[in-house]
């Protein structure tokens, strides 16, 4: 069984990590898939998806703040839209994650949460999930 699901994500800052773990858990639960994997795909070029700590929220702000320091928006880029920094951050973070499903649940480590990464918001974004058994 395979399920293709679209999720809508509304971001409200230029740079933002949004915890999507519970939405993914729900989608996996509704799919009925007990063992397999979910591919989380971001169909954008200035947003990404990553895994990180689900406990202390300062980890998120540390990561976003340091990426901004490493790749500042105003770095003399040629691209006229002024968001080349966001393209670079997204490319380094990654446009997909594959997460295992075991016993109907996401097989994550104890401290892992899944985050949608906005690097050029605020925007209305989409996320595509492919849930596969196997």
Which residues bind to a second copy, rule: CB under 8 A? 2, 4, 35, 37, 39, 41-45, 50-53, 56, 58-59, 61-63, 66-67, 69-71, 75, 77-81, 84, 87-88, 91-100, 102, 107-112, 126, 128, 130, 132, 134
Nearer to a second copy (CB atom), residue 8 or residue 109: 109
**Residue 54 has which token pair?**
């689900």
| Least separation in angstroms between CB 95 and a second copy | 5
| Element containing residue 40 per DSSP (H, E) | strand 36-41
| Least separation in angstroms between CB 85 and a second copy | 8
Cβ–Cβ under 8 Å, residues 121 and 14: yes
Please report the beta strands in the chain, taking only residues with DSSP state E, as ranges in sequence order.
2-10, 16-19, 36-41, 47-53, 96-102, 105-106, 112-118, 124-133
Measured distance CA(73)–CA(78) in Å, rounded: 12
Nearer to a second copy (CB atom), residue 23 or residue 53: 53
| Least separation in angstroms between CB 84 and a second copy | 4
């Amino acid at each position: 069984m395979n399920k293709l699901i679209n999720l809508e994500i509304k971001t409200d800052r230029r740079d933002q990590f949004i915890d999507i773990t519970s939405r993914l858990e729900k989608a996996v639960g509704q799919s009925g898939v007990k063992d397999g994997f979910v591919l989380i795909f971001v169909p954008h070029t200035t947003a990404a998806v990553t895994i990180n700590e689900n406990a202390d929220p300062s980890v998120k702000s540390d990561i976003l703040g340091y990426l901004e320091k490493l790749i500042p928006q105003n770095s003399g880029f040629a691209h006229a839209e002024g968001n080349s920094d966001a393209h670079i951050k997204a490319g380094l973070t990654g446009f997909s994650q594959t997460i295992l499903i075991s016993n109907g649940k996401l097989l994550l480590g104890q401290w892992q949460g899944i985050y949608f990464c906005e690097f050029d918001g605020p925007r209305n974004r989409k996320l595509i999930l492919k849930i596969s058994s196997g």
